[in-house]
């Protein structure tokens, strides 16, 4: 199966910079053995979408509302994202959980709203350093999955993706360093098994957290790592295409 490689640009670029980087990526990236997804911020989505349209790269969003329509000032509906050509949507990212106080119930509603509108949710789960140091990583991840996927039904295994993002390994966090690929692989296997128990489907599980040009290959060589969610390195003109290669 093709590896899924996702660029999470967060809120790091202006619209102009997003357009420029997207244009360059369409020239530099040959996505033959992988599916590459670019996730710009909301404001850049239509513009980046029109650049990616005639390329091999797909469009992703960094979040979506928990409801399809209604009086939710400032929110962005999965329905409209779908109309803009968005295929994947990152949900439950640790930055949203931490800075925007998103809880499991909200994330659960977002997963359902995304599926209703035929977007593929990329559900982020990950332990913080405290859980890791207390030896509670697996229990914590199991709980995050159970809450976020409560009542969720999917038709096929490709309808949903889980992203394992140990919070302490995300490059913008203090003293971040990537987890060892073998250790990530063991946890990814655990996540695959747990997700199977809940959804009765073997969904893809990708890894995120300080993945870069130097370590991408060793992560992708692991049997239970179906792809990468890339933050910092996806903003680099030469590094991200090299990771895909
Ligand atoms: C992320 O925040 O989703 C992420 C993977 O970031 P980075 O690659 O910069 O650690």
Q: Is 165 a catalytic residue?
A: yes
What are the tens digits of pLDDT across the range 13-32? Answer: 999 999 999 999 999 998 88
pLDDT at 184: 97
- Going from the Cα of 86 to the center of ligand 1, the distance in angstroms, rounded, reads 20
C-alpha pair distances (Å), 107 with each of 31, 69, 74, 217, 226: 30, 17, 17, 31, 22
pLDDT number for residue 192 = 98
Which atom of ligand 1 has the smallest separation from the CA of 229? 5
pLDDT at 216: 97
pTM metric for this prediction: 0.97
pLDDT of residue 240: 98
**DSSP character at residue 219:** H
| Residue 177 confidence (pLDDT) | 83
pLDDT for the residue 176: 87
Residue 174: predicted pLDDT: 85
Instruction: Please pick, among 95, 144, 165, 182, the residue that the annotation labels catalytic.
Output: 165
Q: What is the pLDDT of residue 178?
A: 85
Q: What is the DSSP letter of 57?
A: P
Listed in sequence order, the residues at least 6 apart from 87 whose beta carbon sits closer than 8 Å to its beta carbon are 37, 58, 59, 60, 119, 120
The reported pLDDT for the residue numbered 156 is 98
User: Which residue, by CA, sits nearest to atom 3 of ligand 1?
Assistant: 231
**Below-50 pLDDT ranges, the chain:** none
CA distance 36 to 69: 29
**DSSP category for residue 169:** G
Q: What is the pLDDT of residue 190?
A: 98
Grouping H, G, I as helix, E, B as strand and the rest as coil, residue 135 is coil
Task: Print burial letters for 225-244: b (CB count within 10 Å at least 16), e (below 16).
Answer: bbbbbbbbbbbeeebbbbbb
């Amino acid at each position: 199966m093709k590896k899924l490689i996702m660029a999470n640009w967060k809120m790091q670029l202006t619209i102009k910079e997003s357009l420029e980087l997207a244009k360059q990526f369409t020239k530099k990236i040959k996505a033959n053995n992988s599916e590459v997804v670019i996730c710009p911020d909301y404001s850049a989505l239509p513009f980046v979408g029109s650049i990616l349209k005639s390329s091999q790269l797909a469009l992703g969003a960094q979040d979506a509302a928990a409801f399809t329509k209604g009086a939710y000032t400032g929110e962005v509906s999965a329905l409209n994202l779908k109309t803009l050509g968005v295929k994947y949507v990152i949900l439950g990212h640790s930055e949203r959980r931490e800075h925007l106080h998103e809880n499991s119930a909200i994330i659960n509603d977002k997963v359902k709203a995304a599926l209703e509108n035929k977007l593929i949710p990329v559900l982020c789960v990950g332990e913080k350093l405290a859980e890791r140091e207390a030896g509670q990583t697996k229990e914590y991840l199991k709980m995050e999955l159970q809450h976020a996927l409560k009542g969720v039904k999917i038709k096929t295994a490709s309808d949903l993706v889980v992203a394992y993002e140990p919070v302490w390994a995300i490059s913008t966090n203090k003293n971040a360093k990537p987890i060892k690929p073998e250790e990530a692989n063991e946890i990814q296997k655990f996540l695959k098994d747990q997700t199977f128990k809940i959804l009765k489907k073997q969904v893809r599980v990708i890894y995120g957290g300080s993945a870069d040009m130097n370590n991408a290959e060793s992560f992708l060589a692991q049997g239970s790592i179906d792809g990468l969610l890339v933050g910092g390195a996806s903003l680099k003109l030469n590094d991200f295409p090299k990771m895909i290669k």
